[in-house]
Amino acid sequence: MSSNQSQKDPNRVAAGLKATIHNDNISEETKDRAAERLHEMGVEVDGKTRPSGRSDVSYTDEDADVDDYETGVDDYDAGAKIDTKASPAGGSDDAHTNRVLGGYKATLKNDNVSDEAKAHAREVLEANDAMPQTQTTRNRDH
């Protein structure tokens, strides 16, 4: 084992191997090697099988909530003003707020974003009086 590998965080390595196993674009041979490596690291491999019939990695974190992970907005109040006190260390509040609102504006134009996410972005922008002019004009025309 090289000295570079011994410095890697085993949790991050395991996470990468788990991602490899669940990636549809990865060959079965690579998935098998990842599963073997996880087994060598002491990560349990349960009886669940992938379409190939080979064992898959088990997730034992019972607290993980997939729905929250997928949407990321379950506990968020869309109508709330953005917390300008939450700016990163060393950054100005205005710059942080502008970046956050800019991200929501970009969401509205991104074709890869769901309609739910776009509706959420609109709500946040409206609550912060930051709706782009083209969006507010379109909304009045409908």
Given this model, what pLDDT does residue 71 score?
A: 42
Given this model, what pLDDT does residue 5 score?
A: 55
* Owner of token pair 């996470």: 15
Strand partners, 55: 49
pLDDT along the chain (142 residues), means of 10: 65 87 89 88 60 45 45 51 56 81 90 91 89 62 52
Residue 81: what are its φ and ψ, rounded to 5°? -70, 150
131 burial (CB, 10 Å; 0-12 / 13-18 / 19+) is buried
Note the pLDDT tens digit of each residue in 80-94: 566 545 555 555 678
Nearest to 28 by CA among 48, 51, 44, 12: 51
**Token pair belonging to 90:** 């060393």
Given this model, what pLDDT does residue 80 score?
A: 58
Predicted TM-score of the model (pTM): 0.36
